[in-house]
Amino acid sequence: MAMASMTNSLWFFSIQLLLSFAMVYGKVPSIIVFGDSSVDAGNNNYIPTIARSNFEPYGRDFNGGHPTGRFCNGKIAPDFISQAFGLKGAIPAYLDPAYSILDFATGVTFASAGTGYDNATSNVLSVIPLWKELEYYKDFQTKLRTSLGDGKANDIIKESLYLISVGTNDFLENYYAVPGRSSQYTVTEYENFLIGIAGNFTKALYDLGARKISLGGLPPMGCMPLERTGNLMGGSECVDSYNNLAAEFNSKLNDLVIKQNKELNGMDMVFSDPYGIMLDIVQKPAFYGFEVTGVACCATGMFEMGYACSRTNPFTCSDADKYVFWDSFHPTEKTNSIVANRVVQTTLAKFMI
């Protein structure tokens, strides 16, 4: 019993030292993440939904071959961003019972694969809506204060870097896929509806103490293998209309960032845009060391993701590093690394100073 108590005390002391070091030397003591499958490390494993990836071949290149619930063969962007900031190399999911509040103090993701800004998007696959992610964050704050005290907890909350990556599902899994929103809104009206929700969300984070926020944009979603597979008339090339929509929506997100930085005292929000680097990778794959862009590594690479991306499928590639996409919707670990590093070197670099 005494040994267990001593071990817990040493663990707590180690966490305190790590946090103190990060506060003094690193500016950012923790990476806190919200969004969809692009940044979900496994929260969906613990809710009743089919939007899961906690089985092989997902995770086959993650720490020796461990499927965690990340929609990737390995690490996702927040893991690389955390590492770049001198923090841990893998950010855990908040709902994973294997981790404690002391683990989450240096990085945590509340993200849920399949979600969107729009509550109706999360209903499509019965996943965690964005407002619920915020409720989990409030719960995290309460536990953080209980464990570390108000002073240390408030420092972490203020100095942490908050990553938001969401929006693709609102268009591809909701607006263009199921009846409802497309009969209520034109696509431009729907964009503006989502921008309103995004603004309310970042304002809510600000009100809860967040100051350093990275609002992520949409990728060139017309270049996802799933969309290219359906573009038979266009020779299975990227769907320009979806790419143009993503670029237009990103411009509105950037305007929101500028607006709130002016309106909210102390707000230091940046717009992190994956669009340019992703499109460059797709258009010039050899430059980045890729061989295949039009289809994904998993299964046939044309339409499979989630449970359709089965470990028994004989078509799954042997070397994911040759592919831009892991499944028909999500990038490989190598692509995530390149995109994350580009964002760190440009948009997020200011938070390292």
Q: Of the listed 30, 37, 38, 53, which one is catalytic? A: 37
The 3-class SS string of 58-93 reads CCCCCCCCCCCCCCCCCCCHHHHHHHHCCCCCCCCE
Q: Which of 160, 273, 330, 337 is catalytic?
A: 330
Structure-token pair, residue 128 = 């965690």
Tokens of 260: 């709130």
Is 112 in the active site?
A: no
* 37 is a catalytic site residue: yes
Q: Residue 332: name the closest of 349, 308, 309 by CA.
A: 309
> pLDDT per position in the chain (353 positions), as tens?
443 344 344 434 444 444 444 333 358 999 999 999 999 999 999 999 999 999 999 999 999 898 999 999 999 999 999 999 999 999 999 999 999 999 999 999 999 999 999 999 999 999 999 999 999 999 999 999 999 999 999 999 999 999 999 999 999 999 999 999 999 999 999 999 999 999 999 999 999 999 999 999 999 999 999 999 999 989 999 999 999 999 999 999 999 999 999 999 999 999 999 999 999 999 999 999 999 999 999 999 999 999 999 888 889 999 999 999 999 999 999 999 999 999 999 999 999 98
Read off the pTM: 0.92
Measured CA to CA, the distance from residue 151 to residue 165 in angstroms comes to 29
From 160, 327, 328, 337, the catalytic residue = 327
Q: Is 330 a catalytic residue?
A: yes
